[in-house]
Amino acid sequence: MFQALDNLFILCYTLLGKMTISAAWYHDFERYILSDIISEKSMHRENYMNALREDIVDTITTHLTPMAQRYGYSDIPLETNVKWRPMVLVIGNYSSGKSSLINEFLGAKIQDTGQAPTDDSFTVLTYDDSVPETEGIQVVEQRDGKSLLNDPEYPFSTLRKHGQRFAAHFQLKRINSPFLKNLAIIDTPGMLDSISEMDRGYDYQEVLGDLAQKAGLVLVLFDAHKAGTVREAYKSIRETLTAHTSEDRIIFVLNRIDECTTFNDLLRVYGTLCWNLSQITGRKDIPMIRMTYSSNASTINKNPATQPPFLPLLENQREDLKQTILKTPLRRLDHLATYLEIHGERLAHYIEALQAFALEFQSFRIKKMVIGLLISLLGGGLIAFTLMMLAGMADPTILLSVGGIGAGLIMTLWLAFFQKKLEQKFRITRLEDLDTLTPITDQTRKDSWGAIRDLVYQHLKNNKGDYTLYELKLDRFDIRQVNENGTQKIREALSEFRSMSKDDLEEWEKNSVVREAYKKEKKKKKEMAEAELLTDTIRHLY
């Protein structure tokens, strides 16, 4: 029996040794081999994502922007807000730990931190690989707001309207942190409550709204000491963010939870924040609140014995928040597709409204011109009849000539005065009843009309009609084709992308290289043909 136990022990020991060796071998395999495979797959996925993003932006640039600018839907190209890298906007009360959390993500102290408000600037943090990471994470280049607002490489030209005071509080830092390789972070000034401190010299809420519209993710930070909201935070959450971005892009974060001494203290703070958010948002359901803290700024590093016992249980939330931020580029594709769909639908609705008004206006104009023509003919006949009765003229040629001249004068007077007055009155009356211009059949149409109504009103009020009814019909047809076919293909490509294996991505990469080479060759031949045609033309001229 003891011999059997000894044999069993030896067998188990041998197997355990082999398992240990296998585990060590697998660890090395995972470290050196799998990491290369994963890195290669990530590269293919990144290339595919960039290609999809370029296709979506190209669709917006080619099909939506020309119509949007022509018909007054937008003064700037629609692709301006989406052509750059994905952005994460970080907002919150002063001293809520925004800069400390960003520094931890970046792996170095890039932003100034402190208990009092330390930074009054909007800071764009983006990637720069000109300095290797081995030399330390650092600011490679820093640019001021004025040059940044006028650089076409960046999507911030629309912020020039906020003036010089804003430009003085706007900057960009290029950093060699790998965290920023596929995204950019925008750090914002802390929100204030004091009336005297609220006068920043520019409209803070408008700037926040413009940046939120460009961002793929918005982090709203609160800290454990101020679980309530200050006045600017209340207005930002209640009005600004809801008007400029969708709820699925907003994440609420309770920061500095390491400063809660007990679990009951944390529950009390969390409950207070939930109550405040329910009052601000006006929703019965409480939005999800992630909890985190910055380990670099934490007092735990100074005295590990003071670590709250609940803190290790919340490490998964810290990692979840980090991964959520890193997944912004992937969600960016969905946001771009949604951006294309929303503006495609709104632009189609916008053109439909202009077309409906143009049809009504054309019908009204024709009716009034017919009435003017009848009045002028009647007036010309009356002049000829009066001349015949009073002057005794019987020559039909003279009577017709005089009657025709009279009718022409009346018609000219009608067109120059009465017709314009009637058209102006029609325009004013129709604008007062603008909501009946297009049918509102469902909530989607209602939301679309709510977004474009003021644009339609201003466009029609300013009498901008330098286009024909035929052009409106043609452009409306084109935009509907984009909405029905283009967006569907993009959604199919996104769905296919999520299920693609490494081999599929490699195959796509090969085909992509072939396609790019073909495009370049085709472009080169076209340029050569155009050059030869120009040379032949010049030769024939001289």
pTM comes to 0.72
Last residue of a domain, one of 326, 361, 382: 326
Give the type of residue at 467.
Y
Rounded Cα–Cα distance for residues 307 and 324 (Å): 26
516 found inside a domain = no
Q: Distances in Å between the alpha carbon of 59 and those of 56, 284, 344, 515?
A: 5, 39, 10, 18
Nearest to 53, CA basis, from 182, 246, 232, 220: 182
Domain that holds residue 441: 350-495
Give the type of residue at 252.
F
Instruction: Kindly tell me the sign of the dihedral angle through the C-alpha atoms of 169, 173, 178, 182.
Output: positive
Contact 291, 306 (CB under 8 A): no
Number of domains in the chain: 2
SS3 191: strand
**Got the DSSP string for 37-74?**
HHHHHHHHHHHHHHHHHHHHHHHIIIIIHHHHHHTTS-
> Residue 89 gets which letter from DSSP?
E
- Name the strand (E) or helix (H) holding 127: strand 122-127
271 found inside a domain = yes
Residues in contact with 94: Cβ distance below 8 Å, sequence separation at least 6, in sequence order: 116, 117, 189, 190, 191, 192, 230
201 found inside a domain = yes
SS3 124: strand
Beta bridge partners of 191: 93
Strand duo 170-175 + 250-255: pairing: unpaired
Q: In terms of C-beta density within 10 A (0-12 exposed, 13-18 middle, 19 or more buried), how is residue 262 classed?
A: exposed
Residues in contact with 241: Cβ distance below 8 Å, sequence separation at least 6, in sequence order: 208, 209, 212, 218, 220, 250
Q: How far is CA 397 from the centre of its chain?
A: 71
What are the residue ranges of helices labelled H in 90-183?
A: 98-106, 145-149, 163-167
SS3 125: strand
Same domain, 313 and 438: no
**Got the DSSP string for 194-259?**
-HHHH--SS-HHHHHHHHHHH-SEEEEEEETTB-S--HHHHHIIIIIHHHHS-GGGEEEEEE-GGG
Last residue of a domain, one of 293, 326, 359: 326
Q: What is the pLDDT of residue 122?
A: 92
Beta bridge partners of 173: 125, 142
Q: What is the pLDDT of residue 113?
A: 72
pLDDT by residue for the chain (542 residues), tens digit each? 434 444 444 444 444 344 433 444 334 434 433 344 334 445 566 777 777 888 888 888 888 999 999 898 988 888 888 888 889 999 888 777 888 888 888 888 888 776 555 667 899 999 998 888 888 888 899 999 888 898 888 889 889 999 899 999 999 999 999 999 889 999 988 887 654 445 678 888 899 999 998 898 999 888 877 666 667 777 788 788 888 888 888 888 888 888 787 888 888 888 888 888 887 776 667 778 888 887 765 554 555 556 677 777 777 788 888 888 988 888 888 888 888 889 999 999 999 999 999 999 989 989 999 998 998 889 888 887 787 777 666 677 777 787 888 888 988 898 888 888 998 899 889 888 888 888 888 888 898 898 899 999 998 888 766 788 888 888 889 888 888 888 788 888 777 777 766 666 666 556 555 445 545 554 565 566 666 666 665 555 55
Same domain, 276 and 373: no
Q: What is the pLDDT of residue 490?
A: 80
Rounded Cα–Cα distance for residues 323 and 325 (Å): 5
Rounded Cα–Cα distance for residues 198 and 204 (Å): 9
48 found inside a domain = no
Give the type of residue at 123.
T
98 found inside a domain = yes
Same domain, 221 and 319: yes
Same domain, 309 and 435: no
Same domain, 288 and 397: no
448 found inside a domain = yes
Last residue of a domain, one of 275, 291, 326: 326
394 found inside a domain = yes
Same domain, 222 and 260: yes
Q: What is the CATH number of the domain that holds 301?
A: 3.40.50.300
- Both tokens assigned to 106: 């970046």
Same domain, 246 and 280: yes
- List, edge to edge, every strand of the sheet that includes 139-144: 139-144, 170-175, 122-127, 184-187, 87-92, 217-223, 250-255, 289-291
Print the SS3 string covering 524-542.
HHHHHHHHHHHHHHHHHHC
Same domain, 220 and 296: yes
Same domain, 249 and 365: no
Contact 211, 244 (CB under 8 A): no
Same domain, 308 and 172: yes
Q: What is the pLDDT of residue 119?
A: 67
Residues in contact with 106: Cβ distance below 8 Å, sequence separation at least 6, in sequence order: 125, 137, 175, 177, 179, 180
Same domain, 185 and 276: yes
CB atoms within 10 A of CB 281: 18
16 found inside a domain = no
SS3 361: helix
Q: What is the pLDDT of residue 117?
A: 58
Same domain, 311 and 355: no
